[in-house]
Each structure stands twice: as structure tokens, then as C-alpha cells.
Amino acid sequence: MLSAMDMVGNPSSVHAPGRAARKLIEEAREHVAALVGAQPRNVVFTSGGTEANALALTPAIQTGSTLAPRTRLFVSAIEHPSVRSGGRFAADRREDVPVTHNGLADLPKLVARLDELAGTRPLVSIMLANNETGVIQPIAAAAELVHKAGGLLHVDAVQAVGKIPSNINALGADLLTISAHKLGGPKGVGALVLANEDLHIADPFLTGGGQERGNRAGTENVIGIAGFGAAAAAIARVWTQEAARTERTRDRLEASLLEVSPDVVIFGSNAPRLPNTTLAALPRVKAETALIALDLEGVAVSSGSACSSGKVAPSHVLAAMGVEPKLALGAVRVSIGATTTEDEIEIFLKAWTKRVMGLSKGKRGLAA
């Protein structure tokens, strides 16, 4: 990225500085494509996962030379807000796909609804792994069912790429969303990956100069894209061993949590999950209070609750899983990364025991 800062050329220019910038972008495109088993020409760079999702969620997805608009959008009830917003589908053309108590998309109910709407051209969006619980979704099975119904499948893989196998062809996805910062790259850059050349976004979200093969106008973020490509190349070399190490660390953390606080609830623990994610709640302890208490001990974690206008509400993910609202208000997400050490796990456990367990025994910070 530092090297890219010295490049003054516009990648759309034909002079030597422009060609140098273009070369850097295309090298990054190759690395990103390789990470998910795609062709480089089918990678569309965006400003991040949110924009990539917005680009994908449109009725105007062209397959081949004929434009047959998608007539209905189905999204799982646990999707990121950028997917749940529905993109460019009208509100009366959007439906939720329910999930089980374990946080898995309820495919039988999706199939039943697709059968009821036989003859339509649906677009279905199901994330590869949930950003709160880490629960991995049955994407390959969903793809088979969606394609049988004449639909297309969009997969938000932001949380999963670089942690679990995310090959677009093996998954059966038609469109795949990635974000650089989730795999060690910079914030503010992502990509929408198309499964093949026959797929085309007929109404680009951003129009203008025709960059990204007409799918996303605007001068490319050369610095960010360079970082994205470097991160994709780096994670491709190590993700398998890192995933195994991270999973062992997570399992040890969860076992220790249950040992020191037997009534703690770990959400999605009975389903396949990402190796780095734990979403847990201690009954009667509010997440916002627990986060502050842990932060005082130098531990940075996040909440499973969504905040809007200063009001904390139960997570829509946990609500979809049927979790009781009072318990959901206590959800704390712990994320483990490549740099997480055993000593840091010990620091977290000591902070949890000292601060959070103390809250559960007292009156301050208790869920109403």
C-alpha cells in the first residue's frame, strides 16, 4: 500500500504511469479471484461489503444475452443489515427465510415458498457464515435448491473468506461478496465476485466512466485494492493452519468460560461455526455493561446487539433464532485472530471472572 501511494497515474489512462497503476489493480484482482476460485475478470472491486451487497441485490441481473428481471428477493432472517435492506427490490417483493434455533437457514421452508411461487425468477441471499454467531450456513445445499427453482443465489461471504473454504464454484453461488478488512486487508474496499461471464449487472449501482467492466463506475481505489490483493495472497498461504489453531483456541476459551460460569449460554454451539467466533451471554447481565467492564481490563470485545439512535435492542439474529429477549440483550461477541495469544485468552478469562461474574452476583448492570 505504501508503494501504491507513490503511483500518480490514473489506472484508466494509457500513459506509462496509468498502465503501472492498472497493472497493480489487475495483479490484486488475480489474488482475490484465486482466493475464492473465480476468474479475475469476474471480480468487481467496490468500496466494501455493503456496496457489493447493494450491487448484487437488484432485479436487473442479466444472464447471457437476455435480460429477464428477478421478480422476488428472499433473504435469510440473520443477514447483515446491508442485505436485509433489500437492495433495489421493492418492499413487496422481499421475503425473509426463517432460521432454526441453531441459526441455520430453514431450507425446507424456503423450498416450500419457492414451490408456491413456481414460475417466478427469484434471487436468494444467504450468508456463508453469520457475523454474530459464526454459524456456517448450508450454502451448497441451498444453491442446488435455488437453481432447481430457476433462481440465482447471492452469498455474503464477508465473514467467512480466509477462515473456511469459500470457493464460489464449490458453493454453487452465483454472486459472492467479500470485504478486505475481514481477511487482514484495509478498510473501505471489497468486491462482488460473479460466478461466470454470463452474469452481468444490467443496472450498475454507480454509473459514469465504465470502470470495472461497466459494473462499478469511478476511479479505482488503487491503494486499497493493492492492500486487498496483498491480504488475499497472504491469507491464501496460511488460512488452513491458522483456522485449525484458532479453532483450538476458541474451544479452549469456551470450555474455560463454561467452567468459571456454568450458566453462560454460547449461541450456535450445536451448529458448524467459524473457528474464530464466540457469541455468549451470562443471564441477567447486560452486554453494554459487560463490554465496559471488560474494556476497563484492556479487553476489546463487541456486542451482539444492534444500536439505533442510542437505544440498544436485541439482536435480530438472536431474535430470528428464538432467543428470549432478556438473554439476547446480554450477548457478547469474542473474536479471535491470527495474532491472538494464549496469554490474551488468560487475560480475557480473568477479566470475565473478575468483572462480568461480579455483575451477575450484584445488582448493577443486570438485564431488566
Please tell me the distance from the alpha carbon of residue 225 to that of residue 46, in angstroms, as a whole number: 9
Is the C-alpha dihedral spanning 338, 344, 346, 347 positive or negative?
negative
Asked if 174 and 194 touch (Cβ cutoff 8 Å), the reply is yes
144 as an active site residue: the answer is no
Q: Which of 68, 307, 337, 354 is catalytic?
A: 307
Q: Report residue 178: phi and psi, to 5°.
A: -135, 150
Q: What is the DSSP string of 140-191?
A: HHHHHHHHHTT-EEEEE-TTTBTTB---HHHHT-SEEEEEGGGGTS-SS-EE
Please tell me the distance from the alpha carbon of residue 102 to that of residue 345, in angstroms, as a whole number: 26
Residue 146: CB atoms within 10 Å? 26
Q: What is the DSSP string of 92-108?
A: GGEEEEPB-TTS-B-HH
Torsion angle of the four alpha carbons 304, 307, 311, 316, in this order, in degrees rounded to the nearest 10: -60
Residue 213 CA, chain-centre distance (Å), reads: 25
Please tell me the distance from the alpha carbon of residue 240 to that of residue 165, in angstroms, as a whole number: 9
Residue 90: CB atoms within 10 Å? 10
Please tell me the distance from the alpha carbon of residue 288 to that of residue 314, in angstroms, as a whole number: 12
Please tell me the distance from the alpha carbon of residue 135 to that of residue 78, in angstroms, as a whole number: 10
Asked if 229 and 32 touch (Cβ cutoff 8 Å), the reply is yes
Residue 231 CA, chain-centre distance (Å), reads: 17
Annotated catalytic residues are 307
